[in-house]
Amino acid sequence: MMNAQVWGQMFLLFGYVIVGYSCNKLHIFDERTNGKLSGFLLRVAMPATILASAFSQDGMQGGVILRALLVTVGIYLLLPAVSKILARVFHWESTVELMLTYSNQIFMGLPIVRSMYGESSIIYVVIFVMVFNVWIYTSGILTLHGKMTETKSLVSKMINPGIVAALLSVFIIFLDLPAPGLAVDLLAGVGSVTTPLAMMVIGSNVAQVDLRQVLIRKDLYGIAVCKLIVFPMMVRGVSLLIMGPGMYTNVATVLAAMPTAGNVTMLCSEYDGNASLAAQGTCICTVLSAVTLPILLSLLG
């Protein structure tokens, strides 16, 4: 029964992707539309989702959040180290290290985790997103560029409405603040568009890539296997060892199984990485995740 529910949910989610893909091909969506919708999601819908979920966390203790935060930091210490080892073994360039380490946690991870595990799971996504944001703009830049840029520039990139909402949500849960009914209803209503809209934007972005050129690149498949299968199993092993079975471990596994984050391509463009490789790798991972994610979620139950 659980597997039927998982496959049904994944069919719905990737159905949104197909709708977005079709809208792009039919010229209903274009690059400008994608940018506008992405801005709305990042600045309005996703922060609303995060804040609404914070008020729905019943019985969540501050100690649990702190422990989850420490484990997440540990995972982000492990992932770049393993990525670097694999890059040396397989003679991959530094761009691949970022492709393996940083997953699409906001646009794809948040909607899928929320759909599969409910509102109570979002706090763990919030923790991962906060650590992700710090790591990609510090360790990620160091990996590509060999040195840090101006602190002011980095801080401006790290601080955005999603991160502010994440910090506020942790504050709300720690202090167990009461939920203002109408305000929470408003936040939940605005946030309700996050899942379909985010998945449609992903589909529209995929439609702008020449899939034939991507699919014939054999080197991308080895990277995709590491990203979509090997790394999630590694993260699951670490999470089980420290946190045991439960919500955190499932969320951590699913987030690690997401395709490469779009931030990687943008970072490569700015800091002398291989932006073309990052974009093509993100595309192939997104396409293949339509197969790997349902299987993984079925196994998780």
pLDDT of residue 137: 81
Task: Give the helix, strand, coil percentages of the chain, each rounded to 5.
Answer: 80, 0, 20
Helix (H) / strand (E) element for 272: namely none
Q: How would you write the pLDDT of the chain (301 residues) with one tens digit per residue?
A: 456 667 777 788 889 989 999 999 999 998 888 889 988 988 898 888 888 888 876 656 667 888 999 999 999 999 999 999 999 999 999 999 999 999 988 888 888 898 888 888 888 998 998 888 888 888 888 888 766 555 556 666 667 787 788 888 888 877 777 777 788 889 889 988 888 888 898 888 888 888 888 888 888 999 999 999 999 999 999 999 999 999 999 999 999 999 998 888 888 887 878 888 888 888 899 889 988 988 888 888 6
Q: Which CATH number fits domain 2-296: 3.40.50, 3.30.1380, 1.20.1530, 1.20.140?
A: 1.20.1530
- Cβ neighbours of residue 33 closer than 8 Å, sequence gap 6 or more: 204
pLDDT of residue 150: 58
Distance separating alpha carbons of residues 107 and 34, to the nearest angstrom: 12
pTM of the model: 0.85
For the chain, what are the domain ranges?
2-296
Distance separating alpha carbons of residues 143 and 146, to the nearest angstrom: 6
Residue 129, class by beta-carbon neighbours within 10 Å (0-12 exposed, 13-18 middle, 19+ buried)? buried
pLDDT of residue 226: 95
pLDDT of residue 1: 40
Rama region for 276: left / alpha / beta (φ>0; ψ in -120 to 50; rest): alpha
Q: Which of 272, 274, 266, 270 is nearest to 223 (CA)?
A: 274
Token look-up 């309005």 returns 44
- Cβ neighbours of residue 180 closer than 8 Å, sequence gap 6 or more: none
How far does the chain reach from its first CA to its final CA, in angstroms?
A: 10
Please check whether residue 161 is in contact with residue 43, taking contact to mean a CB–CB distance below 8 angstroms.
Answer: yes
Enter the DSSP assignment of 177: P
Helices (H), 55-108: 62-90, 94-101
